[in-house]
Each structure stands twice: as structure tokens, then as C-alpha cells.
Structure 1
Amino acid sequence: MNRTHLVLLMSVVGLTGCARRAANPSTAGAATHAPAPAASDRSNAARPAPDDTEQALAALNAAPIYFPLDSSILPPEATEELSRIAQALRQRSQAKVTVAGHTCELGTTEYNVALGQRRAASVRAYLVNLGVEPQRISVISYGEERPADVNAPEKNRRAEFSFRLAEQARAGEL
């Protein structure tokens, strides 16, 4: 079996496995079975079509990870979500993720940027320990600058995920 066939097989298996999981009701309809590419399309198997790109990214939705006040230690309830994210990333070798660390408004700007960075870094380290290649995970800190809810500080103490495919990163799409 040559490399192209292996990549095609892995892509179909990955997309098929995701179609059965409906963790996010808003994207449950997005992950459907994709038809096998025609023989003429097999040479482009490593480069997903626009619809395949949307399906691959839809399967990578993730809930934010919430942290306690003044902490960058992952809470125990985050491990299940991070395990799911790591598995999805391992199944999609072209996918990359940016982890954004956020804080509430308590503390100085400098402190909050550093805390947001530590939160994002702890999520990254956990994903790396679960087998995701470190070069596929970038981190950024917004500190207190992008609150999720100004009336609920506990919702601002979080790490959020944004996913993209390698082709999009090279083309500057995301």
C-alpha cells in the first residue's frame, strides 16, 4: 500500500469516526459520511477539498477550559475535554490549534497577560503529553482584554481553542 492510499484511508476513517460523535448539537449535522474520492481525485487526497476542510474543522469544536482564580493548574474536569481534543488532533495530522489564555479583570495587566500565558501553556503541555506534536500547538495570552462575560468573572478565567488546517495556515486564511 503506497503512501497516498494510506493517507486516503486514514482520512476516511477519521471523518467516519467523527460522524458518529455528536458532542456539540450545533455541529452534529456537519459531520457526515463523505463519499470516497474518484480515481482522478486520488492524487489530491492529501489536500482536502473546501467541504472536507469545513467538516474536519467542525469536528474539532471544543469547549473552553475554565480555571480557578489566580491559577494555571488544570482542573480535574478538564481532562476529558482535553483527551477528546488530543484524540481528534491525532486523527487529523493537518490540523493545528491555537490555545488562547484569558483572565478576569483582577490584577495588573502585566500579571494577567502572564497568567493567561501560563494557562495556555498548561493546556499545551497536557495535549503534548497526550501525543499531540508540540509544533502543531501555539499559545497566546489575551489576559483580561477579551472577557467572555463582564458580569461573570469566573467565565473569563479560561483557555479557548481555535483550529485550522495546515493549508489554511500557509495560505493565510486563518
Structure 2
Amino acid sequence: MLRRLANFKIALICAVFLALAACSKKNQPNLEGDGAGTAVPGSEKDFAINVGDRIYFIVDTSTLTPEAQETLRRQSAWLKQYPNVTVQVEGHADERGTREYNISLSARRATATREFLIAQGVQGNRISSIAYGKERPVALCDAEQCYSQNRRAVTVITGGAVSG
């Protein structure tokens, strides 16, 4: 009887461990082929994830930082690889300052971004620009961490990208 009880306890413990092991989630490859987490080359997702679709600016300037220039070099290489793609550069500013000042500043940021891409060999007729000023913030709060996210230029694909 004691032996049977001991065997039952062992079997119960093994069953619990097997159940727990069966429920654990390991990073297993996606065999269903739905493409989750991947970007099709030449797609908008490829551009945003693998190249970078935005750059950031220092307060009250339209000067491209070294980090911004590196992102724009990657953008220009990608755009030259996919010559049918057209883009629009959106200039943005943080919430400080007047509406008029921020529209002007964001226009200078969009222009600086566009001109850098052209200087890197991207045809100018493939790049339009628009200034949004402080009208489209991505972060809202009264702190530098939010302001710095809003001082940006975003390169948006407007046509010619591969679906995916």
C-alpha cells in the first residue's frame, strides 16, 4: 500500500512537471509563414525598421546632427536601391514657441533633410516636403524627453513601395 502511494506521488509529480513543460512558451520559429516580425525588402515597413524613417534636431535649429546625417545616408542608399519610391519629408517642432515660428522652423528642418537626400544622389522630383510645426506632436508632456521627440523630420513613403 505504501509502495502504491509512493508510486502515485511520483506519477503525480511527473504529470505536473509535464503539464508545466507543455505550457511553457519558448521562442520557437514561426512555421506558419505569416511574416510576423519581418519586413519585405522595398516595403514601407522595411524602410521604417531597417533604415529609419525619422531624424531629430536640437532646440531651435535645422542643423543636421551627425546621427541624423547617418540616418539620411541610409535613407538615400535605400531610395537609390528602389528608384520608383517617392517620399514626403515632414518637418515638425516641439510645442514651445508660436505657431508661426514653429511652422517656419519645421519648414527649414524639412528643407535641410530634403537637400541632404538630394546631395546624396536622390532625385529631387522624388522628394516633397511639408511643414507641420507643433501641430502633430508624437509625445505630450512638459518635459525635455517629450520635446526632443517632437523636434523631428519624418520621411514618409508616398508611392512606389513594395506591398508588405
TM-score range, shorter chain: 0.5 to 0.7
For the pair 1:101 / 2:126, whether they are aligned, the reply is: no
Cα shift at 1:166: 4.3
| Aligned residue in 2 for 1:59 | 46
- Counterparts of 1:1-174 in structure 2, within 5 Å, are 29-31=38-40, 55-61=42-48, 62-151=52-141, 152-166=146-160
Distance 2:86 2:101 in 1: 28
**AA paired with 1:56?**
S
Q: Which runs of 5+ in 1 are unaligned?
A: 1-25, 33-54, 169-174
Stretches (4+) displaced over 3 A: none
Query: What do you get for the CA RMSD once the two structures are aligned?
Result: 2.2
Match of 1:30, SS state, is coil
TM-score by length of 2: 0.68
Identity over aligned pairs, percent? 38
Cα shift at 1:95: 0.1
Residues 129 and 27 of structure 1, relative CA distance in 2, 3 Å threshold: farther
Residues 57 and 132 of structure 1, relative CA distance in 2, 3 Å threshold: same
Distance 2:39 2:62 in 1: 33
Distance 2:64 2:128 in 1: 18
CA contact (8 A) 1:27 1:58 kept: no
Residues 27 and 125 of structure 1, relative CA distance in 2, 3 Å threshold: farther
Cα shift at 1:56: 3.0
Q: Which runs of 5+ in 2 are unaligned?
A: 1-34
Distance 2:55 2:88 in 1: 13
Identify the structure with bigger relative contact order (alpha carbons < 8 Å, sequence gap 6+): 2
| Aligned residue in 2 for 1:49 | none
TM-score by length of 1: 0.64
Distance 1:149 1:83 in 2: 26
**AA paired with 2:62?**
S
